[in-house]
Each structure stands twice: as structure tokens, then as C-alpha cells.
């Protein structure tokens, strides 16, 4: 599961989903101005979601957007790969990394942000930061590692993450040039 080819493939997928989301949301992250379903803030669903997601608002848009990668990542089981608990843990592990990388790529490629505006003062929906990164990113990477370790894939996960980080660095470099031409 944590192969180099899979890491590159998923990074392309992360990038495409981030770019799609930029086209949908524009400068207004977390579906701020989208005409999507939003429960009342005092509803149980909204409170539970906000508790799990560091105070973020529950929207119909995010329910479907977060479902998309999980459905894609489970496709091998539908195609005939035998399901095992270890493989499921690997998929959920990848999904946590997916969420972090996809979110960061949204900022990297978004012409209204870029890496230089990846800071708390510009991003209202990431309410809790630890140093230069949202707390959710650290939790996502940590949970991803724990699940991979339980599945017996610590070393493979570390190589997978290293490949993702190199691809992120490449994207940051490429986007800086791209975003300069756009302004």
C-alpha cells in the first residue's frame, strides 16, 4: 500500500482535488460563501463535528468532499482486492495524510493565498495552530502514523511520507512561479 508509485499517484490525486476545490471556493475557504446545507450551530451534529474538527463549521459540502477520498481509497476492495483489517488501517492512515496534504495544497495553489499567506491571521477556519501549522495537521499526521504502525507499516509509511514531502516541496516551488505570473 505505501509504495513509491502509490505515493506519487495519490499526490496527483491530492493536487487535482485541491485545484478543484480552489475552483469551487475561490478565496473563501471552508465553504464560507457556498450555498450548501449548514445545520444550526447548536445542533448535536454541529457540536460534535466542531469538537472533532477544532471548531470548524459542519457543511454539506464538506460531508461530500470528505467522503470522496474515502470512496476512492476503498476502490481496490470493490475491484477484487481482499479486505483485511491491516489494509483498512492503511487506507484510513492514507486518508488522514490525504486530508492534511490536500488542505495544504489548497493554500499552495490558491492564487489568493500561496505559502506566504499560510498564517493564522489569513485563515480564520483553522482556529488552533501549533507554531507554523494548524493543530489539525499535526493530529492528522500523528493519527496516520499510529494507524500505519498498528498495521505493521511504520517504515513504509515513513518512506511514503518522505515522498509526499518532496512532492509538496516541488509544488511549493512550482506554485511560487505560477502565482507570480498570475499577479
Output the pLDDT for position 70. Answer: 94
CA–CA separation, 37 and 107 (whole Å): 24
Output the pLDDT for position 171. Answer: 96
- Kindly give the pairing relationship between strand 133-134 and strand 129-130: antiparallel
Grid cell locating 95: 486518508
Output the pLDDT for position 181. Answer: 60
Output the pLDDT for position 183. Answer: 53
Residues 67-106 have pLDDT tens digits of 999 999 999 999 999 999 999 999 999 999 999 999 999 9
Residues in the chain where the model's pLDDT stays below 70: 181-183
Amino acid at each position: 500500500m505505501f509504495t513509491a508509485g502509490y505515493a506519487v499517484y495519490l499526490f496527483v490525486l491530492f493536487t487535482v482535488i485541491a485545484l478543484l476545490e480552489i475552483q469551487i471556493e475561490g478565496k473563501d475557504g471552508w465553504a464560507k460563501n457556498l450555498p450548501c446545507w449548514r445545520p444550526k450551530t447548536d445542533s448535536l451534529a454541529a457540536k460534535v463535528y466542531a469538537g472533532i474538527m477544532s471548531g470548524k463549521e459542519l457543511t454539506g459540502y464538506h460531508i461530500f468532499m470528505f467522503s470522496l477520498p474515502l470512496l476512492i481509497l476503498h476502490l481496490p476492495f470493490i475491484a477484487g482486492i481482499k479486505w483485511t483489517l491491516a489494509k483498512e488501517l492503511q487506507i484510513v492512515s492514507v486518508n488522514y495524510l490525504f486530508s492534511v496534504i490536500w488542505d495544504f495544497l489548497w493554500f499552495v495553489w490558491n492564487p489568493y493565498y500561496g505559502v506566504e499567506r499560510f498564517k493564522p491571521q489569513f485563515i480564520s477556519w483553522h482556529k488552533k495552530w501549533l507554531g507554523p501549522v494548524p493543530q489539525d495537521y499535526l493530529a492528522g499526521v500523528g493519527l496516520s502514523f499510529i494507524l500505519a504502525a498498528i498495521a505493521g507499516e511504520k517504515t513504509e509509511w515513513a518512506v511514503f511520507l518522505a515522498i509526499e514531502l518532496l512532492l509538496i516541496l516541488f509544488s511549493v516551488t512550482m506554485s511560487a512561479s505560477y502565482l507570480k505570473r498570475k499577479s
